[in-house]
Amino acid sequence: MTQPAANTPEFSVSEIAHALKRTVEDAFGHVRVRGEISGLKVAASGHVYLCLKDANAVLDGVMWKGPANALRFRPEDGLEVIATGKLTTYPGRSKYQIVIERMEPAGAGALMALLEQRKAKLAAEGLFAAERKRALPFLPKVIGVVTSPTGAVIRDILHRLSDRFPRHVLVWPVLVQGEGAAEQVARAVRGFNALPDGGAIPRPDLLIVARGGGSIEDLWAFNEEVVVRAVADSRIPTISAVGHETDTTLCDFAADRRAPTPTAAAEMAVPVRDDLVYTVGTLGLRLDRALSKDVGAMAERVQAVACRLPSPRELFALRQQRFDELADRLPRALAANAQKQRVRYERAAAPLRPALFAQRLRVAQTGLDRTAYGLAGIAAGLTRQHENRVEQASRLLETLSPYATLQRGYAVVRTQGRHVVATTDAARAAVEMVVTFADGDVPVVMADGAPARPARSSAKGASSAPPTPPKAQQGVLL
């Protein structure tokens, strides 16, 4: 048994999908959704895809390129935001999503929590340490300003610098909010630091990073890490002048000095020229007065001391009087001294009469003659004594001399080596010998043989005796 046809109309899948799309868009054509960003992804086309979630549900979202570029902050995972747009469906996947037209952080609380978290992270790295801070130059020659070239900030800075002390200012134009602002500010700070000294573009002595006031979202670019690290790494002293006095960004902590306003930054950068002129003039007057006072005091001291001193005429008068007295006494003193010396001379010369001197000379001569005579006698006696001793020694020498013995007919027999032959055994043992007589030497041999050449006599007086002629044959001596 067949069932009767139902009255419910049939729809295709596409019809249902488009009907749902129209229903959702009509019912939720303009909504504000609060949720936490998750799964953030930026496509190459510039579109942003994300999810908004709370504790119980997840809503897909998409933000086209135009609205995404207009954001005044950088979306991040975990950031709670309020997204404004419309709900729609995606028929190809049977999903619904929100097309976000505007998005903002969900109140200052969420941004402040993110700010505190980032601040703690950067502080732990030492980027805010006090020892990193450098003193600002007293009067910089060139000042670099990183800000928007069209806002009132740059005009306020230039106007205040012109009023206080005109300086050479270099402006690096950047965006100060929105997409890409943080990267441009960081590049500007690093670009100023990269300028070489003495180049075509002068390198600044001081940097000012400035922006006008606004909400925390407007100032969020100066809380980005890229800006904070660029300012902290800057070798040029930096002043942060972001927002008004009550506004605080992480760039303020990284800079060497924080200014409450851009105008105050210009006041920190240079002193007031008129004040310096006035100060220098005042110091010059004080110096002149101090010098005049010191000179006057010294003059008074000199006058006081001079009053206690006698006049030069009085000083010289006393010396002149003393000189006159000495001049009067000098001739008399010279005469008295000459007389005194004359008396001493006469007393010394009195014992030196010629007769007395001659008598003493004769006595001395007599004594000298006697001494000389005695010395001559002593010398003669000593001479005779020594002559006798020499004569006795000569006679003894003649008596003991072997030559005297040879004169009495004796002879001395020696070997060729000049050793004395004293025994017959020694004579038989020798082959050749020399017999020394009073008038010379005669060589002999023990057997038949030719006699040797007569040797020169070594006896006393033998040098004058003629040599003994050699014999044809010499017989045996013993």
Residue-wise pLDDT for 244-266, tens only, equals 877 789 999 999 999 999 999 99
Alpha-carbon separation of residue 429 from 172, 433, 438, 474 (angstroms)? 137, 10, 25, 18
Provide CATH 2.40.50.140 ranges for the chain: 13-105
Q: Residue 73 — pLDDT band, cuts 50, 70, 90?
A: confident
Describe the crossing of helices 152-164 and 262-269 by its angle, rounded to 10 degrees: 30
- Beta strand pairing call for 95-105 and 58-63: parallel
Instruction: Work out the burial of residue 332: count CB atoms within 10 Å of its CB; fewer than 13 is exposed, 13-18 middle, 19 or more buried.
Output: exposed
| The predicted structure's pLDDT at residue 39 | 86
81 has pLDDT over 90: no
Round the CA-based radius of gyration of the chain to a whole number and report it.
71
Q: Name the residue with tokens 């010499």.
A: 474
108 has pLDDT over 70: no
Structure pTM?
0.46
Query: Which of 37-51, 145-159, 424-438 comes out lowest in average pLDDT?
Result: 424-438
Average pLDDT over residues 124-136: 92
| The predicted structure's pLDDT at residue 462 | 41
| The predicted structure's pLDDT at residue 460 | 42
Q: Residue 4 — pLDDT band, cuts 50, 70, 90?
A: low
223 has pLDDT over 50: yes
Percent of the chain residues topping a pLDDT of 90: 30
Query: Which of 207-216, 218-227, 349-358 comes out lowest in average pLDDT?
Result: 349-358
Largest CA distance in the chain: 207
Average pLDDT over residues 288-307: 87
Average pLDDT, the chain: 83
Question: For residues 241 and 160, what is the distance between their CA atoms, to the nearest angstrom?
Answer: 14
Q: Residue 464 — pLDDT band, cuts 50, 70, 90?
A: very low
Half-sphere exposure of 384 (CA within 13 A, CB side): 5
Q: Residue 210 — pLDDT band, cuts 50, 70, 90?
A: very high
Q: Residue 228 — pLDDT band, cuts 50, 70, 90?
A: very high
CATH class of 114-127+139-271: alpha beta
H helices then E strands: how many in the chain?
A: 13, 13
- Asked if 420 and 413 touch (Cβ cutoff 8 Å), the reply is yes
Q: Tell me, which fold does domain 13-105 have in CATH?
A: OB fold (Dihydrolipoamide Acetyltransferase, E2P) (2.40.50)
